[in-house]
Amino acid sequence: MGYLFFDESIHTRGDFILGAWVYCESDPAPAVDAALLASGLRPGIDEFKSGDRMADQPSFQKLRESLWDALFGSPNRVGLVVIPSKARPRLGVEALVALKKFVTANGLASESLSAFMDEGLFTSVERAEREALALGLFPRVAIRVEQDSRTVPGLQLADMVAHASSTLLLARMGLVTKTVKARPMSGFSPNEDLELAYTLRAGLRFTFFHRPKPEFDPGTRPDSWVEVADYGLHLSDDVPDDLRGAVIECFGRAWHGCIR
């Protein structure tokens, strides 16, 4: 049984919407709920939202770190969807198109899958079911739309990934230049200032769906780049060339070697 969760992040200054599918082999709800409880929040009532201000709230910062640990600590995978802002009414359909691509390309078609999508992506549940059926997603994927992220905790992971990935793309476009202190156990001094995009990429790069690595040949130097584009990235046809180029540069492949 596999679980998939979709949420999006909207950015008018970059003129794009970025959505994230998070795939988990097991239900992440226990890990997310435990992180919420440890931060004094109430699972099912309260939730983590990446857009909330955290600079002066250490408990929220700790919660964010715990959720990243939940994402990185299991064999979870991430696929991204990018569309122009003007295409917002089509986001739900593009998310389903991407879902089919990710399921097919990554050998998940034989699994029993449940896909949960955040609220506001379709005008009705019936329309979502028609679109999924037309794409051939039924019956292998059970599509559940209009889901509340407070009661479907995996959506909080998708929200976090969508927000972080959007920050990476905005940085690639020259629209974000924020710095943060190095994380514990990062290999850097705790007082060292690092680009926010650098710290986000350091972890996310291992989670993207990607082409399987070939068996290592001891007689050759291993290639630390992995292809993401055909396995964990979907762009709508109307993404303009400048945005398309930035997305491919940012997410088309991932570095799995030493970060420094």
pLDDT digits over 64-86, tens only?
889 999 998 778 999 999 999 99
Number of neighbours of residue 112 by Cβ within 10 angstroms: 11
Please, which residues bridge with residue 19 across strands?
8, 81
Task: Please tell me the distance from the alpha carbon of residue 202 to that of residue 205, in angstroms, as a whole number.
Answer: 6
Task: Please tell me the distance from the alpha carbon of residue 218 to that of residue 72, in angstroms, as a whole number.
Answer: 28
pLDDT of residue 259: 57
pLDDT digits (tens, 9 = 90+) for 138-156: 778 999 999 999 999 999 9
What does pTM read for this prediction? 0.89
pLDDT digits (tens, 9 = 90+) for 20-55: 999 999 999 999 999 999 999 999 999 998 876 655
Task: List helix spans (H) across 173-238.
Answer: 196-204, 229-232
Domains and CATH numbers, the chain: 2-255 (3.30.420.10)
> What's the whole-number mean pLDDT along residues 214-220?
58
Average pLDDT, the chain: 87
Comparing 50 with 89, which gets the higher pLDDT? 89
Sign of torsion over alpha carbons 105, 208, 54, 33 = positive
pLDDT of residue 194: 41
CA atoms within 13 A on the CB side of 27: 9
Q: Does the pLDDT of residue 117 top 90, yes or no?
A: yes
| 15 SS3 class | coil
Task: List helix spans (H) across the chain.
Answer: 29-38, 58-72, 91-105, 125-134, 154-172, 196-204, 229-232, 241-251
CB-based contacts of 193, cutoff 8 Å, min separation 6: 179, 180, 181, 182
